Chains A and B, each alone.
Chain A
Amino acid sequence: MKQKLTHYLILLAMVIVVNFFLPRWMPGSPVRTIAGEDVGSLTAEERMGILEAYDLDKPLYQQFLLYLRDLFTLNWGNSYSKRQPIFSLIGSRIGWTVLLAGGNLLISSVVGSLLGVYAAFRRRSKGGAAALVASAAVTSLPPFWVAMILLSVFGVRLGWFPLYGAYSMWGGYTGLAAVLDVLRHLVLPLATMVLTSFMMFFTTARYGALQVLGEDYIRMARMRGIPEKRITRSYVLRNTFIPVFTMVMMDAGYLLSGSVLIETVFSYPGLGTLMQEAVEARDYPLIQYTFLVSSVLTIAALLAADLLHGRVDPRMKEVAELE
């Protein structure tokens, strides 16, 4: 475990370094974002003054040291483009993204896995084949297109769900009404994400279950007369869900950054769009810290997966002990 923790610490250190240099290696400059549309009218001295004010005139190593100082003192400063503290910017967005992407992770993994197992058990029936074909067909649709269809049908034509935002911005709802309002706004973006992402859980669960169903211990259990329900629950599902669990943990790492497109289409105020806007504006501090938060979450998810794997799959514990 100690060794693994060391690996993750090294990974984190690398992330911290890359997060600083990557935006600065990108072509382009944040000067336009800082100075506005008439940047061309600035004199060289004025432009240099702006660079000085933002420490961008300093050698890269000095900027890096300042970045490390700010990072560890949690003084993350202001965004160049949003002119607001980065801490509060990330704080105001992260909840919505966790709700949307977390909801998607939960629903798509449960729905995908259950459908996958169903398709595996019914592999020779029409139902199993239909589940496979339908899942593949739906998931292969471009997310943008699915979003537009849902928006057009359920938002515009039927008027069932709102077209934008994470809640009724001027609705003034409180209590249960506010919760229901948030859920109503969540339906279309969440449905889009689930429809376009559950396939990987479906295929993983289906092939996992097919593999398990062919194992000797399943045949032996049947020969011993163990009831089919118990075989399914204790033997098949438990083993099938091990790779699904790994996938869920891996996906949790992408939670914060994986919903940019959906957030954009539904004007959902999440972290994905914030990251995208930061990159487009060459807003170095905002790029650094949004990506850092996302990376830290990925590393945390991987670490959690490592820690929990032993519990989910006892064989892993044995491997670890052998190592």
Chain B
Amino acid sequence: MSMKKKICALLLAAACLGLAACGGSNGEDVGGTALTIAITNDENTLAPFTYVSSTGLTVNRLIYDTLFTTDLENNLVPWMVEEDYTVENSQVFTFRLVEGQTFHNGEPVDAEAVRFSFTYPATQVNSTQRRICNAIESIEVLDEQTIRFTLKEPDVNFLRDGFASMRIICPSVYEGVEDGSTVTDSIGSGMYRLAEYRTGEYYVLEAVEDYFKGTPRVDTIRMPIMTDSTAIQQAILAGELAASTGTIGMEMVDTFQAQEGMEVFANADYAPLIVNFNCGRHPFDQVDFRRAIACAVDVEGICRTLFGDYALPGTPGLIRSDLPYAADLSYTYDPEAAVALLEGLGYTEVNSDGIRLDENGEPLSFEMITYAGNATRSRLCELVREQLRQVGIEIEILSLDMDTADAYIWPDFEVSNGRDYDLSTWGWGSAAGNSYTYLISLCDSDYDVGTYNVCGYQSQRFDQLVADTQVTSTEEMEALLLELQQVVAEEVPLLTIAYADTLQVCNTNLYDGWKAGKGTNVVNVYSFLGEETA
């Protein structure tokens, strides 16, 4: 190598090392306690009318309070209101606000602000908030701190679905604003205020020192927007991140647990993993055919294969089995019974591939739609295909991007628009699976009630039970749900495969206050509440 080349090489190496030496981490300390937590999606200003996904909903709960919330055991507890609230007939709710609450701009949180928070969203496009507003008949402000809500109909779920969901917003920020999504000031009354947001880059949240439940334990939460899960995991390992709003796969649990200072939290989740049948399409319109599939699929085995110990297997009652109103039901893996049911339907002949033929001599061959890029669901499809083949049913897997798949399964997100699929993998959010109304939304064939009925399931027994029962208390609702579970267990509108835990990894060297809870993310209010309050 000539001297010139050697000098060039040395200069290049020096430049690289010089750049590397300029600092290793992603910034300098700002003083006080600061945590860096990756957020897996750009959720705009995190305001109630701008967030995009459930990730935004999780994080904006730190900025916006709700009248009620769930504790780490998934029990509903008052948050902004005193414990001596009254509920009449699941229809009239009277609350007194806890004293001393203020918005981040210093304005007081009073009954008028609460009333505004439950009326303004009715004019906006956000579906969750509209749904809540639509259920309310009237709101009376009794005094500065006391408010009364009257629903159009009794709703035993409204404390959770309504009062624990609706974010309390600052009237002066939104008054006179036609489109709430244009408001970029994210001002709530939660334990953190949004100090900075750079689109596509990061958020900075600062603790509200005089928060009514005590000063949060962490002064500053920095949230870089990172979408790649592998990069996030590397950054957590490197100590650049303390945690993330995202999850890890079961296969990564041992790797992280072997690392000093890493803790994996497994939070029970209420989001079901489902195999849908198109109940309006032959032969899925026959109850015995759906039963045959339920017998041929080893739900518990698949659940263990996909999630190990980090999931609860689904049940034919479709409700998570540890909920207090879950019926004692379980799937029975019995391929012989499946064969008997198929033969009972007349599907006795098989072709040279071992696939049964239908009444027209066509093979029982179906497409199963799943989301491309979702490894768990793809594996689920493969396992179902393998097991159904054993009883003479052929499955062709169709991997589509999410919107394309949804266009077949749930066209325009309106179940009355019909559907165009044979089988599909599917899932609902945690809030849905944790709701009293989940089963009814999923299975009622009156599509104004059965808004989640993407299977097109029709059952007179089910509809009749729902129509005939006047529910005004949780006891009545639970009794109804027990009966409804028996119906769906017999008629099998779909298969619930599992309720998988949310697995999250946190760096406990950087922060040891993480609190995991049922149905929550580790990025929750309890993880940052002052020690005494928590």
Interface residues of A (CB under 8 A from B): 26-29, 31-44, 46-47, 49-50, 53, 78, 81-84, 89, 92-93, 148, 151-152, 154-156, 158-166, 168-172, 177, 180-181, 183-184, 187, 264-267, 269, 273-274, 277, 280-282
Check B228 against A265 for contact (C-beta < 8 Å): yes
Q: B178: nearest residue on chain A (CB-CB)?
A: A53
Contact of B413 among A47, A266, A269 (CB under 8 A): A47
**Chain B's nearest CB lies how many Å from the CB of A191?**
10
**Chain B's nearest CB lies how many Å from the CB of A35?**
4
Cβ-based interface call for B477 (8 A): no
Check A267 against B42 for contact (C-beta < 8 Å): no
Residues 304 to 330 of chain B near chain A (Cβ within 8 Å) = none
Chain B 5-21, CB within 8 Å of chain A: the 1/0 string? 00000000000101110
- 7 residue pairs of the A-B complex, CB under 8 angstroms, read A34-B125, A37-B57, A37-B128, A154-B20, A170-B30, A171-B27, A267-B224
Check B23 against A27 for contact (C-beta < 8 Å): no
Contact of B403 among A46, A264, A274, A280 (CB under 8 A): A280
User: Could you say which of B38, B202, B429 has the most chain A C-beta atoms within 10 Å of its C-beta?
Assistant: B202
Residues 458 to 512 of chain B near chain A (Cβ within 8 Å) = none
Cβ-based interface call for B44 (8 A): yes
Cβ-based interface call for B528 (8 A): no
**Using Cβ atoms and an 8 Å threshold, which residues of chain A touch B451?**
40-41
Check A264 against B228 for contact (C-beta < 8 Å): yes
Q: B411: nearest residue on chain A (CB-CB)?
A: A29
Check A26 against B410 for contact (C-beta < 8 Å): no
Known contacts A26-B403, A264-B228; A169/B202 CB under 8 A = yes
Closest 10 A-B residue pairs measured CB to CB? A28-B403, A160-B20, A27-B407, A38-B127, A171-B27, A168-B27, A170-B27, A269-B200, A27-B404, A38-B128
How far does the alpha carbon of A82 sit from the alpha carbon of B225 in the complex, in Å? Answer: 14
Cβ-based interface call for B402 (8 A): yes
Check A181 against B201 for contact (C-beta < 8 Å): no
Check B42 against A169 for contact (C-beta < 8 Å): no
Cβ-based interface call for B452 (8 A): yes
Check B234 against A163 for contact (C-beta < 8 Å): yes
Check B23 against A168 for contact (C-beta < 8 Å): yes
Check B404 against A26 for contact (C-beta < 8 Å): yes
How far does the alpha carbon of A168 sit from the alpha carbon of B201 in the complex, in Å? Answer: 11
Check A269 against B201 for contact (C-beta < 8 Å): yes
Contact of B231 among A39, A47, A265 (CB under 8 A): A265
Contact of A151 among B44, B57, B234, B448 (CB under 8 A): B234
**Using Cβ atoms and an 8 Å threshold, which residues of chain A touch B533?**
none
**Chain B's nearest CB lies how many Å from the CB of A46?**
6
**Chain B's nearest CB lies how many Å from the CB of A37?**
6
Q: Number of B interface residues at 8 Å Cβ cutoff, please give it.
A: 68
Cβ-based interface call for B130 (8 A): yes
**Using Cβ atoms and an 8 Å threshold, which residues of chain B touch A93?**
200
Check A92 against B200 for contact (C-beta < 8 Å): yes
How far does the alpha carbon of A46 sit from the alpha carbon of B126 in the complex, in Å? Answer: 10
**Chain B's nearest CB lies how many Å from the CB of A84?**
6
**Using Cβ atoms and an 8 Å threshold, which residues of chain B touch A164?**
26, 38, 224, 226, 231, 235, 240
Known contacts A83-B44, A267-B228; A162/B404 CB under 8 A = no
Chain B 222-244, CB within 8 Å of chain A: the 1/0 string? 10111110110011011010000
Known contacts A26-B404, A180-B19; A156/B234 CB under 8 A = yes
How far does the alpha carbon of A82 sit from the alpha carbon of B231 in the complex, in Å? Answer: 24
Check A184 against B19 for contact (C-beta < 8 Å): yes
Contact of A169 among B26, B234, B415 (CB under 8 A): B26
**Chain A's nearest CB lies how many Å from the CB of B225?**
7
Taking A31-B413, A37-B57, A93-B200 as known contacts, 13 extra A-B pairs with beta carbons closer than 8 A to each other, sorted by chain A number, are A27-B403, A27-B407, A46-B127, A81-B52, A92-B200, A161-B19, A162-B25, A164-B231, A165-B201, A166-B201, A168-B25, A170-B204, A269-B198
**Chain A's nearest CB lies how many Å from the CB of B260?**
15
Check B50 against A170 for contact (C-beta < 8 Å): no
How far does the alpha carbon of A169 sit from the alpha carbon of B27 in the complex, in Å? Answer: 6
Q: A152: nearest residue on chain B (CB-CB)?
A: B234
**Chain A's nearest CB lies how many Å from the CB of B22?**
5
Check A35 against B127 for contact (C-beta < 8 Å): yes
How far does the alpha carbon of A53 sit from the alpha carbon of B123 in the complex, in Å? Answer: 12
Known contacts A28-B407, A42-B127, A165-B224; A37/B234 CB under 8 A = no
Check B429 against A37 for contact (C-beta < 8 Å): yes
**Using Cβ atoms and an 8 Å threshold, which residues of chain B touch A277?**
42
**Using Cβ atoms and an 8 Å threshold, which residues of chain A touch B20?**
154, 158, 160-161, 184, 187
